[in-house]
Structure 1
Amino acid sequence: MERTHRDEVVLDIPDRPKLGAWIGLSLQHMFSMFGSTVLVPILVGLNPGIALFTSGVGTLLYILITKAKIPAYMGSSFAFIVPMLSLMAKGGGGYPAIAQGIWAVGAVYLIVAVIVALIGSDWIDSLLPPIVVGPIVMVIGLSLAGSAATNATMRTISATKSVYDIRIFIVAIITLLLTILFNMVLKGFLGLIPILLGIVSGYIVAIPFGLVDFTKVTAAHWFALPTFEIPFVSYAPHLQIGAIIAMAPLALVTMTEHMGHLMVLNKLTDRNFFQDPGLKRTLAGDGTASIVAGFFGGPAVTSYGENIGVLAITKVHSVWVLGGAATFAVLFSFVGKLSALIQSIPGAVIGGISFLLFGVIASSGLRIIVDNKVDFNVKRNLMISSAILVIGIGNAYLQVGKTQFSGLAIATVLGIILNLVLPREAASEKELAAKLDEEYEVN
């Protein structure tokens, strides 16, 4: 029989808080995801207002599909920044290409959800072990290092010319140091939003350096409809094979993050979401949220660890609170001055934040390897990780006609293939093991 309430928590999953507390708790969750969710579109060049809208709508869809049994928030995913930057560059196809990549990502989630419903989920661990996932996550962070350095040093003069500006570097370093400080010393709710605080502080520091332009903020209306990128309304879509192949394989990587978050939530809420409502529903909810995001002009979405942290600290697990946060995100996306303010954040601030953020992503990949005690004395592991890291970080892309496959996508696919075909032991390792066995028997 399913448990409906736990006395050791303030609010359990099905509990609805009183209106005043509901508003406050929901705003807390919204601001916890706010910094990361708007940072992704800022880095890529998308509209942050649309990202807020699609994160809110995606969360509400996820809650609906999972039968309101999982307190999770869906925010902009960092895993797809590299291919999105490539697609947003000149000749990359722009958002129409990104949208098709996002739809492909959602489709992969839905296909895997169907497979899980038919045969279970054990095969996922075999396809994506730590030796594949860890290096890929490291590539996602490290391959963005150049972008962070450019934002933190260069001032754009025209579409084709940038120059080094010491003011930008100073502001970037100050922003980085302040964000590190916030991460280390703040506690409670403020300790959950160090990225947001870092962006705000860096923005304030950038003003006296003359790096902030308030023109668009002043001109913006308080109420403004986000400039949605809707197919057949904003643009006429045509098949973008390169975008699909560049982004779709990464869905397999974010699925491991998805399942990791479910494991944490299982322990936190004393439930088993893999059984009820089932992994097939959680994957379907995540995939559907991304597909809808692609139809409106937002980035792909995924479950957010920041919000899980809020659940752990507050002991408020109410799905009503997460639904309220999603509703507030949708409402805030229509505040024109807020969107204009976000877009006025200078590149120096984004560069400073990115130094830390991209490094944390790379370090998360390293943590996967360390936590799972991956042995690099085993040649198989060394070969797989080496190929993934150099191809991915170096962006050894494949160009076939007008279709380009990013280094990250190639590294992901190659890592999966190598893991499936390489033997557990190299011939030299087998030979050495045989000699050691022989010497042991003799002695």
Structure 2
Amino acid sequence: MAKQKGFRNEDAVLDIHDRPKTWQLFGLSIQHMFAMFGSTVLVPILVGLNPGIALFSSGVGTLLYILITQAKIPAYMGSSFAFIVPMMALMKTTGYPGIAQGTISVGVVYLIVALIISHFGSDWLDKILPPIVVGPIVMVIGLSLAGTAAKDATMRQLTATKSVYDLKFFAIALLTLLVTIGFNMYLKGFIGLIPILLGLIVGYIIALAFGVVDLTPVQNAKWLQIPYFEIPFVTYKWKFDLGAVLSMAPLAFVTMTEHTGHIMVLNTLTKRNFFKDPGLHRTLSGDGLASMVAGIIGGPPVTSYGENIGVLAVTKVHSVYVLGGAAISAIVFSFIGKLSALIQSIPSPVIGGISFLLFGTIAANGLRILIDNQIDFNKKRNLMIASSILVIGIGNASLNISTLSFSGLAVATVLGIVMNLVLPDLAASEK
């Protein structure tokens, strides 16, 4: 592993290139795996993908990221929530082939931006994606999913086309929400870092008590089972889908801002400057290649995970060996058939209860971006940009041209970027 010579962070229990003892490595790696587990498997559950493949792709993606960044950055790649809206839409129309092309296109955008940054620097990225654009887009990602969360929490599916309101489902969802909020508020230490996972477990137990869980698939599943990888030209016929690409690719610019923010936090934690060494172009390349591999094998796009950065901050264990161990653990767990079946047996009201909190938190983070950057909404320019993004995105004002379809979120993202570039700083009446 390439080392940053001449420096060691003395505040760290284990610095980036310190190798823990074997028994320590196992425990620390499993801790990181559980930190990302709940969110990483929740994305495929919401979209309708295989959770086992998502675990596998997150592990492989993390190992690729470590390799491309020359083992200098302790980060974990997990399923990204930013692409849930277009993935849900694509699942209903084109199925996984469309999602695969969208996911691969996200990785391609990352690689193109990484190439540009390696030649021209990254200042231009800040100009097209300032907080006034990013904040409302992040809010849209959360709020546009509110209807899905409410449906999961209240509606029991009778047939493929018919569902009915079920008070029992709503009770399970609210109880799941409340216990997850409790875990977030009152737990400390490591277990305080995995409230989503604990909420899923307790919600599942509540659903069992209400008799709405079907354990038959779990009983029938094998202990060891190869995930059903969705591979183009092997398991399905590849047909280029421009609409799928254009629905997901623009959102890559949004997740890049999240990626950059995570690198900033890691810089502070590790007392290094990863923008210079190994460089932002390498971190983006690692993230992009990880998403491309995920798309090729059947997983959702991946991104660096704040949950694992939280573990780094609390434990002060920054060893890249531990993150590599977590990736290998995720790959191993993806081959446990009963685990995948157990995850897929989680009933919709449990997912709905978790989603109430999760989607709301995503939206609130968008609001926080605006507050932290002191965006002035007395300026008409800011008001015009934010209001257009919010209504078009939340209302899902999709653009359909012949066989092409662009989600409201994709339209809002592109429109927000264009408006930010062309609108003057002050309106005529403000001068």
TM range (shorter): over 0.9
In the alignment, the residues of structure 1 paired with residue 309 and residue 210 of structure 2 have an alpha-carbon distance, to the nearest angstrom, of 37
Measured in 1, the distance between the counterparts of 2:22 and 2:194 equals 24
How far apart in 1 are the matches of 2:395 and 2:322? 43
Aligned length: 428
| Rg (Cα) greater in structure | 1
Q: Is the Cα contact below 8 Å between 1:26 and 1:325 reproduced in 2?
A: yes
Q: Which residue of 1 aligns with 2:183?
A: 182
Q: Structure 2 regions of 5+ residues with no counterpart? A: none
Distance in 1, matches of 2:338 and 2:151, equals 27
Equivalents in 1 of 2:253, 2:212: separation in Å? Answer: 40
Look up the equivalent residue of 2:11 and give its one-letter code: E
State yes or no: 1:164 paired with 2:165. yes
Q: Give the 3-state SS of the residue equivalent to 1:158 in structure 2.
A: coil
Secondary structure of the residue that 1:234 maps to in structure 2?
coil
The Cα shift of 1:7 comes to 2.2
Query: TM-score, normalising length from structure 1?
Result: 0.96
Query: Higher mean Cα deviation, 329-338 or 399-408?
Result: 399-408
Offset at residue 4 of structure 1 (A): 4.1
Match of 1:295 in 2: 296
Q: Write the deviation string for residues 99-146 of structure 1: whole angstroms up to 9, x where unpaired.
A: 000111000000000000000001111010000000000000000000
SS at match of 1:15: coil
Task: Give the aligned partner of residue 226 of structure 1.
Answer: 227
Q: Distance in 1 between matches of 2:370 and 2:6?
A: 36
Secondary structure at the aligned position of 1:410 is classed as helix
- Give CA-to-partner distance per residue, 1:214-260, whole Å, 9 cap, x none: 00000000000001100111101101011000000000000000000
Aligned to 1:441: none
Q: 1:26 aligns with which of 26, 29, 53?
A: 29
Would you say the 8 A contact 1:5–1:14 is kept in 2?
no
- Name the CA distance, whole Å, in 2 between partners of 1:2 and 1:413: 43
Offset from partner CA, 1:47-87 (integer Å, 9 cap, x none): 00000000000000000000000000000000000000000
Q: Name the residue aligned to 2:361.
A: 360
Q: Which residue of structure 2 aligns with residue 121 of structure 1?
A: 122
Q: Establish whether residue 81 from structure 1 lines up as the match of residue 84 from structure 2.
A: yes
Aligned equivalent of 1:51: 54
CA distance in 1, matches of 2:128, 2:276: 21
> Is 2:222 aligned against 1:209?
no
> Structure 1 residue runs of 4+, over 4 Å off?
none
The residue correspondences of 1:329-340 to structure 2 (distance < 5 A) are 329-340=330-341
The C-alpha deviation readout for 1:180-232, integer Å capped at 9, x for no partner, is: 00000000000000000000000000012111000000000000000110011
Task: Output the amino acid matched with 2:222.
Answer: H
Q: Structure 1, residues 353-409: CA drift from partner, whole Å, max 9, x if none?
A: 000000000000000000000000000000000000000000000111121100000
Q: Which residue of 2 aligns with 1:341?
A: 342
Q: Does 1:5 align with 2:8?
A: yes
Calculate the aligned-residue CA RMSD, in Å. 0.6
Which residue does the alignment assign to 2:249?
248
CA distance in 2, matches of 1:39, 1:247: 19
1-structure distance, mates of 2:251, 2:6 = 36
Deviation at residue 2 of structure 1 after TM alignment? 3.7
**2:41 & 2:212 partners in 1: Cα distance?**
20
Q: Please give the per-residue CA displacement for 1:275-311, whole angstroms capped at 9, x wherever unaligned.
A: 0000000000000000000010000000000000000
Asked whether the 8 Å contact 1:75–1:304 carries over to 2, the reply is yes
Whether contact under 8 Å (1:139, 1:392) holds in the other structure is: yes
Distance 1:268 1:293 in 2: 28
How far apart, CA to CA, are the structure 2 residues paired with 1:360 and 1:287? 25
1:15 aligns with 2:18: yes
Distance 2:32 2:61 in 1: 15
Other-structure match for 1:42 = 45
Q: Kindly provide the amino acid, as one letter, of the partner of residue 112 in structure 2.
A: I
Equivalences for residues 420-435 of structure 1 within 5 A? 420-430=421-431
In 2, Cα distance between the equivalents of 1:421 and 1:403? 26
Q: Residue 236 of structure 2 aligns with which residue?
A: 235
Q: Could you tell me how far apart the structure 2 residues matched to 1:142 and 1:357 are?
A: 10
- CA 3–353 in structure 1, closer or farther in 2 if over 3 Å, else same: farther
Give the letter aligned to residue 233 of structure 2: F
The separation in 1 between residues aligned to 2:8 and 2:230, in whole angstroms, is 42
